[in-house]
């Protein structure tokens, strides 16, 4: 039975640490698939005209392509030489909600993310999105420092 690990990337060194941890874990597991995800924070709650919505849709499509080019595709290239199956996903929305939705869609066995390091005391331990994910996830969450 294939184990699926969902890795939340953030486009920074912390996301690289999460990917490295997932790659090491996949080596230990053996039959393992990696799904790397980048979430573009985007609130659906906005009142706009039809023209503004058309521009917003175009901007969303551009953001997805940028995330694929700058975050997802390099991550796939980094891991692809290991013989593992790896796929990428980019979504708009709340980070924790989107990762949970992807984990359900992909039947992930675990979510791997990095902790945030900026902000106040609570955010030094976990970022706001990370703590929400840990509290709400239906599958185990590994937080990499």
**Domains of the chain, CATH where assigned:** 3-144 (3.40.50.620)
Is the predicted pLDDT of residue 34 greater than 90, yes or no? yes
Asked if residue 108 lies in contact with residue 55, where contact means CB atoms within 8 angstroms, the answer is: no
Q: Which stretch of DSSP H or E encloses residue 114?
A: strand 110-114
Nearest to 109 by CA among 19, 16, 26: 26
What is the Cα Rg of the chain in Å?
A: 16
Q: Quote the pLDDT of residue 127.
A: 58
> Per-residue pLDDT tens for 46-67?
667 778 777 887 888 999 999 9
Is the predicted pLDDT of residue 37 greater than 50, yes or no? yes
Q: Quote the pLDDT of residue 45.
A: 61
Q: Average pLDDT for residues 11-30, to the nearest whole number?
A: 93
Q: Quote the pLDDT of residue 123.
A: 45
Q: Quote the pLDDT of residue 27.
A: 92
> Alpha helix locations (H) across 10-127?
13-29, 50-67, 73-80, 95-105, 121-125
Q: Quote the pLDDT of residue 46.
A: 62
Supply the pTM of this predicted model: 0.86
Q: Average pLDDT for residues 61-75, to the nearest whole number?
A: 95
**Residue 107: which region, alpha, beta or left (left: phi > 0; alpha: psi -120 to 50)?**
left
> Per-residue pLDDT tens for 79-129?
987 778 999 999 999 999 999 999 999 999 999 999 865 444 444 444 578
């Amino acid at each position: 039975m294939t184990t699926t690990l969902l890795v939340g990337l953030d486009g920074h060194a912390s996301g690289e640490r999460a990917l490295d941890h997932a790659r090491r874990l996949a080596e230990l597991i053996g039959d393992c698939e990696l799904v790397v995800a980048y979430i573009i924070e985007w609130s659906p709650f906005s009142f706009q005209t039809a023209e503004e919505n058309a521009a917003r849709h175009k901007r969303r499509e551009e953001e997805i392509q940028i995330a694929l080019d700058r975050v997802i595709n390099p991550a796939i290239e980094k891991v692809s030489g290991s013989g593992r199956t790896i796929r990428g996903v980019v979504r708009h929305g709340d980070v924790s909600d989107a990762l949970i939705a992807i984990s359900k869609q992909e039947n992930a066995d675990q979510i791997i993310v990095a902790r945030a390091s900026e902000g106040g005391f609570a955010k030094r331990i976990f970022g706001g999105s990370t703590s929400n994910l840990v509290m709400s996830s239906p599958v185990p969450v590994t937080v990499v420092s």
